[in-house]
Chains A and B, each alone.
Chain A
Amino acid sequence: AQSVTQPDIHITVSEGASLELRCNYSYGATPYLFWYVQSPGQGLQLLLKYFSGDTLVQGIKGFEAEFKRSQSSFNLRKPSVHWSDAAEYFCAVGPRNTGGFKTIFGAGTRLFVKA
């Protein structure tokens, strides 16, 4: 079955420290891969996406993610976390032949940032 797993329900990081949020997926073929961020009271905003090519993709707000086919992973990273990064982060996958309409989301990882 198709699924997305985000193993960490919540993570706490000190401001200025590095961050890595994990995402693993189960899919029949290499899907489109996305990371979205949800700030309190807001909808989800796209951080970055991977379709093909370079497996390290850059996104907005200084985030990057690396696609590792052998591990079926698409982990999100940021070298130095800012207090404004506190939010919930969702990894998502979508099939290559149907674009966005069957996007499957992980359960989310809530990021807390310590001052």
Chain B
Amino acid sequence: EAQVTQNPRYLITVTGKKLTVTCSQNMNHEYMSWYRQDPGLGLRQIYYSMNVEVTDKGDVPEGYKVSRKEKRNFPLILESPSPNQTSLYFCASSLTGTSSYNSPLHFGNGTRLTVT
């Protein structure tokens, strides 16, 4: 089944303790992205990747890191989490980052992160 898989679904951590949220897609998509969802703000893009070893900042990249060493994986790293990073995080992928009729985003089921 074609899907985007995020882990974990729920995570509670303390300020300053490094964590990684994993994201994997099995559709051979070139483009992957991370979003955070906060009430009243919709989805805001954190980082995106057009292809392996190509990443770039989205609208709210501060406090986050990403890597794209393989096409299927795009982990989100919080080196020193803070309470304002408490949010619902979504990983998404699409076939291509360039103009294409068939490039809607496919989303994972989300990771709810709480930083105390």
Contact = CB atoms under 8 A, between A and B. Distances in A.
A51 B42 contact: no
A101 B99 contact: no
Interface residue tally of chain A, by bracket?
20 to 34
Contact of B94 (A9, A36, A100): A100
Interface residue tally of chain B, by bracket?
20 to 34
Given A41-B109, A46-B105, A49-B104, A99 B99 contact: yes
Interface in A39-55: 41-46, 49, 51
A53 to B, nearest CB: 11
A38 to B, nearest CB: 8
Nearest to A103: B105
Contacts, number: 71
Given A98-B97, A99-B99, A107 B105 contact: no
Interface in A60-115: 90, 94, 96-103, 105-108
Contact of B43 (A46, A97, A99, A105): A105
Given A43-B4, A46-B104, A107-B42, A101 B110 contact: no
A34 interface: yes
A107 B94 contact: no
Interface centre among B40, B41, B107 (most CB of A within 10 A): B107
A110 B108 CA distance: 20
A42 B90 CA distance: 10
Interface centre among B41, B101, B104 (most CB of A within 10 A): B104
B100 interface: yes
Contacts of A49: 104
Interface in B21-74: 31, 33, 35, 40-45, 48, 50
Interface of B: 4, 31, 33, 35, 40-45, 48, 50, 90, 92, 94, 96-101, 103-110
